[in-house]
Amino acid sequence: MARQIIATGNAPSSPLFSQGVRIGSTIFVSGMAGIDPATGEPAGSSIGEQTLQALRNCASVLEAAGCSLDDVGFVTVLLARPADFAGMNEAYGSVFSDRPPARAVTRLGPELAGILVSIAMTAHIAE
């Protein structure tokens, strides 16, 4: 099965990874930090602001792949500070309020200046 690279100007990018990859009917979205793609800076200093931006970034990659957050089956949330769990959960719950996907939350390994959260997703769409 061919691997299709998904790219959009509406999410942070790097030459070191693809924003998304589609293989068959599965879409893999790379970890998206809470960075505003227009400025290249964190979307705010709070975990809520950065969680919502990270989710918007993931949604932009999914849209470029022809699907949406409704097609997400699994989410991995990486937190820089475990103490931010409740704030992340509040923001996350405002986006995935009905029929949320499966999810894992763990600690973000490297310390990145100003980055509080990174979110990766796997979605499935009909071929």
Report H helices in the chain: 47-64, 85-95
Per-residue model confidence as pLDDT tens digits over 23-49: 999 999 999 999 999 999 999 999 999
12 and 30 Cβ atoms separated by less than 8 Å = no
Beta-carbon neighbour count of residue 8 at 10 Å? 16
**pLDDT (average), residues 54-63:** 98
What sign does the dihedral 101-107-112-116 (CA atoms) show? Answer: positive
**Predicted structure pTM score:** 0.95
Question: pLDDT of 75-120, one tens digit each?
Answer: 999 999 999 999 999 999 999 989 999 999 999 887 888 999 999 9
Alpha carbons 88 and 51: distance in angstroms, whole number = 6
CATH class held by domain 3-124: alpha beta
Tracing tokens 């800076």 back to the chain, one arrives at 41
